[in-house]
Structure formats: C-alpha cells, structure tokens
C-alpha cells in the first residue's frame, strides 16, 4: 500500500523558518473562502461575473429564494468586501467589489472543471 506520509522525521529547518517568516496574516483570506464555501453565495458571486450587476430581486430569482434570503447573502458578501451595492430608486443593485473577486470565482470554476475531467479519465 502506497503511503502519503513521510516514513521518517526530517524537518528542513531553513525551509520551515523561511515559510514561517513570510506567512501573511490569513484571517482576511479565510473569511473570503468561508464566504465562497457556501454554495448559494458562490452562485451569487458567479452570477455577478456573468452580469456586472443584479438587483436583489434578480438574485432571488437566480437562487430561487425569497428576496429576504437573497438580501441576507448579499449583505454577507458586502460585509466582507466581496460585493458593493447601490440603491437606485426602490431597487438595490449589487456588483462584485473588484475584479479579484471575479477572478477567484472563475479560477475555482476552472479548477473544478479540471478535476471533473481527471475523474472521468
């Protein structure tokens, strides 16, 4: 049986020290991935890569939920700076906060598709 752990302990001290000294604060990144780990919020974020902005009612229709539920998810994305909103008359429109968010979502989608291709071969 093939093992995927080291068979002996051999810590490369210089490598470990280098990585430890260069690790950034990860809390912000963790919050982003936590938000996008929810399938509904990921669907919303991906939708906003397909259409630059959507009103809350549109998002509710896309995720097949109430406007209250859609608004809750959108507010969550906004609170951690993944989305921005703008009120126009009686409607509130949301868009991704910046291009990086869209890139993350698209990269995750591409990676998932690669995994599906590897599983089918």
Q: Residue 34: is its pLDDT beyond 90?
A: yes
Please state the domain extents for the chain.
Answer: 28-120
Q: At what angle do helices 39-50 and 67-79 cross, to 10 degrees?
A: 80
For the 28-120 domain, the top CATH level (class) is mainly alpha
pLDDT digits (tens, 9 = 90+) for 42-69: 999 999 999 999 999 999 999 999 999 9
pLDDT digits (tens, 9 = 90+) for 78-90: 999 999 999 999 9
pTM equals 0.85
Q: What angle do CA 73, 25, 29 make, to 5 degrees?
A: 25
Q: For residues 54 and 62, is the Cβ–Cβ distance under 8 A?
A: yes
Q: For residues 29 and 14, is the Cβ–Cβ distance under 8 A?
A: no
């Amino acid at each position: 049986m093939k093992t995927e752990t080291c068979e002996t302990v051999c810590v490369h001290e210089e490598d470990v020290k280098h990585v430890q000294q260069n690790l950034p604060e990860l809390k912000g990144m963790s919050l982003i991935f936590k938000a996008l780990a929810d399938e509904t919020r990921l669907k919303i974020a991906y939708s906003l890569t397909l259409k630059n902005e959507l009103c809350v009612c549109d998002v509710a229709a896309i995720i097949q939920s109430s406007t209250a539920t859609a608004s809750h998810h959108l507010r969550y994305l906004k609170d951690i700076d993944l989305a921005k909103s703008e009120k126009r008359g009686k409607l509130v429109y949301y868009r991704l906060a910046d291009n990086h968010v869209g890139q993350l979502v698209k990269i995750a989608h591409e990676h998932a598709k690669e995994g599906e291709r590897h599983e089918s071969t």
